[in-house]
Structure 1
Amino acid sequence: MTNRNTYYVSPKGDILPVNTDIRLQLFEVAVSDEELNRFRIAVKEFDSAEDVEKEDFFNLTHFKEVEVDEHRRITFGKLVQIYKWIYTHGTATTKFEIEKMNILPKLEENARDR
């Protein structure tokens, strides 16, 4: 049987053993070490990507609409993966919070439509 621990995570990649800072949007998850490592990898891939959405708005690639749309689709797709991971491993409270935010359908729609 897999040993699971409780952590508080943010979509930005914060991982805390206790819910400490009310200024952060933290979600409670119960995960194994391997599952937590997958989260770290997903966040690292998101952070290391060269997507336009995370770059300076005045970057010249913004004037190439096809490239901008593709970068946005990739960015939203990566965010979907992070939020899905949080939702899948989240407690009932976490799942309720994410459902209330209605973020997954919006991100999935943006990833598809771009």
Structure 2
Amino acid sequence: MEQKGTFYVTAKGDLEPLPTDDHLHYFEIQASYDEKQQLEHLFAQMHANNKQEGLDIFSPKRHFSESHAEYHRGKDSKLVYELFRYLYLLGTEKTKREIEEMKVLPELYEASHDTIEKVK
């Protein structure tokens, strides 16, 4: 069994070995090297899709070129859903509770499927 380490995920998509700022919210996760790589890949996809540098990846207020709005919203919704799903799967009990309290997974799942269907 591959050893897992503890990481703290920021809203900017950084994975830190320790919480570095008491004013930031972190999601605490337990991840193997491969799981960490997968999460970093999802963050990289999200940043590549993000049209405004520096915008928090968990922010519901994103701006896109209107001519490609549906495409970007669909892609964004799917990526955000995958990120939260993965954070939930890797999360500590506290992280899982926080994500459950946010009630974002069912809403994101529905939004990503609705938008993807419109894009098809």
Say which is worse superposed, 10-19 or 25-34, in terms of deviation.
Answer: 10-19
Task: Give the alignment's TM-score, normalised by structure 2.
Answer: 0.78
CA contact (8 A) 1:8 1:16 kept: yes
The structure with more radius of gyration: 1
SS at match of 1:72: helix
Query: Closer, same or farther in 2 for the Cα pair 1:45/1:21, shift >3 Å?
Result: same
Q: Which whole-Å CA distance do the structure 1 matches of 2:81 and 2:13 have between them?
A: 14
The match for 1:76 is 77
Q: CA-atom RMSD, angstroms?
A: 2.1
1:27-84 deviation per Cα after TM superposition (whole angstroms, max 9, x unaligned): 11111111101111110011112669855x5xxx41x4xx422321111100111111
| Equivalent residue runs for 1:25-64 within 5 Å | 25-49=25-49, 54-55=62-63, 61-62=65-66, 64=67
Aligned-pair identity in percent equals 30
- Count matched residues: 107
Unaligned runs of 5+ in 1: none
Give the TM-score of the pair, scaled to structure 1.
0.81
**Could you tell me how far 1:19 is from its partner in structure 2?**
2.0
* Between 26-35 and 13-22, the greater mean CA deviation after superposition: 13-22
Counterpart position of 1:4: 4
Give the Cα–Cα distance (whole angstroms) in 2 for the partners of residues 91 and 50 of structure 1.
28
Unaligned runs of 5+ in 2: 53-60, 116-120
Query: Does the CA contact (< 8 Å) of 2:5 and 2:32 recur in 1?
Result: yes
